[in-house]
A and B are shown apart, each in its own frame.
Chain A
């Protein structure tokens, strides 16, 4: 709710110009000019992880419910989309993806139930149950992976309305449109009064309950919505990026990675998920180039990998001490300096 325009010069046109330019770049320029390597190795994982981060940010950043089960919901989304595509031939891809999101929402709702009684660390530990249970169930019951001997299945071919999306650009556009639509949805949600309810639950649950914010309903709805978004991110991760579906890719490491994306990017901001995901995806690539150049011949590949990890960890710690509000806060400070 805004009562006074924060900046009289920022008309709708100038305010939305950077976003419009970015979308134009992403939808038109990238597919036309970017190399396959950039799309396959950077942009596809970036989009999938951004979307997962966005989903988790709704839950953790806005509503204050810490979850360590994100990868499980990604797995649910990926496997649900695979089974829908595989078993129901005629289902259009967007519908499968939507239904996969709904499946993840249902699972998220079940694992969200403890949030009605548990808070903070205790809730985080209870979401670990989702992480372990889902991975176990997907490995244990062959039906989920269509009884594939290795447990690794290749993703079905992607097409919408008869147009094949199997090429690099096609998969990129599929991931980009899905991410853009969901981001718009989340943006509209968090600026609405419902978004204020989420923050009220996070900031002071007791006060929220006493003044009549529907705390329990809000928590469950956010668990479902967040899981649905993360599930769709899982489907994109498997279908568009990896082109394979396997439970092992959705382990606890992935859950932590998504949590780091949200924390580094900036809790309770929409763009934070994108900034965090960009850092998490691009930084290791740059780092491996750098260590490759600096320590070439000095250390073997295993040691290089270790150096990378140590450096990455150190950067995260330094970063959180210097700016606990994440990359989003840094970006705000920079833009404010330039617009003044």
Chain B
């Protein structure tokens, strides 16, 4: 069934589970399944028939040379790009096109390759923005401080404090985010993604440009978040040392095609991966 037709009807992008969904999509309960995702920009094929299963509580790295399609994959998952073929499944729902504005409600959070914070807001407000999809109170409630708005504000404040505490950001909560050093800003972005307790976390180069210490710290935060709530993580990262240490499984993309998928050890020894990406030692 072509995706274009599905998109026009009913609760868009939701594919009826009973019909042509492949057995792979139906089999896996929770977690994330990408089934045969292809993406092209004009004549350029960014992704070709990429499939990926990520179990709950799994940290899955996606590596590959520049232009391999790693960020495209995350952008398809977060609905910023529409796959030309293939389906995505989060929890119980299957999508031919992921609706980005509903992503947070679906339990998916992401960070961006280049910082995508709100420089005009404090650290606390940046993190709290990750909760705004849950807010029921509107303009009037907030202007007049009605009970619902007050309760929500207090509850969100507690959640912000709690996640800030876990990521060692408490001391900086009141600072304008633009005044923080780069490494801390990356951490604020992680906090914003984690504050709503997502089921799936998409991290697009969370450690790019960091010092070795900062990278180790960041890896620790990601692992702790996974251990704490059993969320799935899809991680794009270039630092092979960090990737191999942090992830349960590693998928390798080259020219938009998945060329390997396995445990870090399997991938490290794969001749195809060595040729395309790692290089001979």
Contact = CB atoms under 8 A, between A and B. Distances in A.
Given A192-B142, A210-B100, A210-B110, A197 B174 contact: no
> Which applies to chain A's interface (DSSP): helix, strand, loop or mixed?
helix
B58 interface: no
Nearest to A196: B125
Contacts of A213: 129, 132-133
Contacts of A185: 143
A188 B141 CA distance: 11
Interface in B123-137: 124-125, 128-130, 132-135
Interface stretch (A199-207, A238-246, A275-283): A199-207
B132 A212 contact: yes
Contacts of A225: 139
Given A189-B139, A211-B129, A212-B133, 10 more contacts: A199-B125, A200-B129, A203-B120, A209-B100, A211-B110, A211-B193, A212-B103, A212-B105, A212-B132, A214-B133
A185 B144 CA distance: 8
A193 B196 CA distance: 16
B82 interface: no
B187 interface: no
A193 B116 contact: no
A203 B142 contact: no
B155 to A, nearest CB: 11
B154 to A, nearest CB: 10
B142 to A, nearest CB: 4
Contacts, number: 113
B277 interface: no
B118 interface: yes
Contact of A200 (B118, B134, B196): B118
Contacts of A192: 142-143, 149, 153
B119 A203 contact: yes
10 contacts: A2-B174, A4-B173, A196-B132, A203-B119, A203-B121, A204-B116, A204-B118, A211-B110, A211-B193, A215-B101
Interface of A: 1-4, 6, 185, 188-189, 192-194, 196-197, 199-200, 202-204, 206-216, 221, 225, 268
B192 interface: yes
B71 interface: no
- The 3 A-B pairs with the shortest beta carbon distances in the complex, nearest first, are A212-B133, A212-B104, A207-B116
B221 interface: no
Interface stretch (B83-91, B156-164, B210-218, B247-255): B156-164
Contacts of B161: 3
B143 A196 contact: no
B110 to A, nearest CB: 6
Nearest to A4: B174
Given A215-B101, A221-B139, A1 B122 contact: yes
A215 B100 CA distance: 11
